[in-house]
Amino acid sequence: MENIPSENELVQTAKLLSELQKQLVQYKSALDSIDLAAQSNQNVSTELARMSQIFEMLQQKQEALVKSFDDTRRALIFTQQKTQQVRKDMDEMSQGFARNINAGLQKTVQAVDQKIAQIAAPDRDIVQKEVKKLKLYLFANILVMFVLFLSVFLYFNNDTTQENLSSRKSNISQSAPLKNRQAPSKTMPSATATRQKFNIQILNGCGTSGVAQIFEKFLRKKNYRVARTKNADRFDYRQSMIYLDGDFPDEAARIARLLDISLDNIKPAPSQWKTHNVTIVIGKDNRSLAPAK
């Protein structure tokens, strides 16, 4: 006969199985904790890497700020040195003017004394007239010295402005002439009333600021009526154009000759510019035209 386990053995076996199951559950929990810890470590590593990148970026920005601060400090030191030099030059100039004024006053006083001594005559009116003349002469000398000092002071303060104006005049004088330039007509309109019969608009087609106002001023001096100045539909017109709407071909030709625009550049006005009899579109060749000379 086979051995049949007793009831006690079965109970013991069940207890052992229950204990084994508990240990397996504990092992599983431990493994889950290990997985969580590993995942946490990975997240911590990722966060540390990101923090390291942020720290490097902050360090680079700090270096850039330090460099910018050094550049600004050097610029301030340079400006301060220039200011001190200008102030020193102005002080020396003021002292020189003061010395010249004092010397001139002393010479003038001596001349007055000599004149008074020479004119010491019984006629008192003559003496008084001579004294008045000498006083006027003295006052004129003082005024001239003051104006001279003020002019030098303004010259130092406006040095940059004078350089900019000189550069602008040089650029205008060196501009190249247009190849198809027409000679200005010697025949001008017979009367101002003829020019007032039609209206003109001037459009900036080159993008240069203020060029339309220069052309407007030029035409107004010629007694033409300019109704409006504004920007054109684009800024890439290579040549200046004249668009005509109305029965004024002769006047359009006169305006073209006045502005040194080729007669071939006179065209019929498109629909958007038919609000005015003559539309002048200023192109890139504006420096070679008459208003810019």
Q: From 276, 285, 284, 281, select the one nearest 266 (Cα to Cα).
A: 281
Residue 64: φ, ψ to 5°: -65, -40
The answer to whether residue 18 is domain-embedded is no
Residue 138: its pLDDT value, please?
79
User: Using CA atoms, how far apart are residues 259 and 271, in angstroms rounded to an integer?
Assistant: 24
Q: Evaluate whether 228 touches 216 at the Cβ level (below 8 Å).
A: no
The answer to whether residue 3 is domain-embedded is no
Give me the number of domains the chain comprises: 2
The answer to whether residue 163 is domain-embedded is no
Q: From 284, 248, 64, 27, select the one nearest 175 (Cα to Cα).
A: 284
Residues 48, 148 within the same domain: yes
Q: How many CA atoms lie within 13 A of 82 on its CB side?
A: 7
The answer to whether residue 112 is domain-embedded is yes
Residues 56, 151 within the same domain: yes
Domain coverage including residue 212: 192-292
Helix (H) / strand (E) element for 229: namely strand 226-231
The answer to whether residue 228 is domain-embedded is yes
The answer to whether residue 197 is domain-embedded is yes
Residue 196: its pLDDT value, please?
61
Digit-coded pLDDT (tens) for 44-96: 888 888 888 887 888 888 888 888 878 888 888 887 887 788 778 877 877 87
Residues 70, 114 within the same domain: yes
Residue 62: its pLDDT value, please?
85
Domain boundary residue among 138, 157, 176? 157
- AA identity, residue 242: I
**Residue 274's CATH number:** 3.30.70.2390
The answer to whether residue 60 is domain-embedded is yes
Domain boundary residue among 106, 139, 157? 157
Residues 120, 241 within the same domain: no
Tokens of 185: 């007509």
- AA identity, residue 216: E
The answer to whether residue 233 is domain-embedded is yes
Residue 164: its pLDDT value, please?
43
Residue 165: its pLDDT value, please?
43
Residues 34, 147 within the same domain: yes
Residues 152, 28 within the same domain: yes
Residue 118: its pLDDT value, please?
60
pTM, two decimals, is: 0.36
Which regions of the chain are under pLDDT 50? Answer: 1, 121-122, 159-191
Residues 83, 149 within the same domain: yes
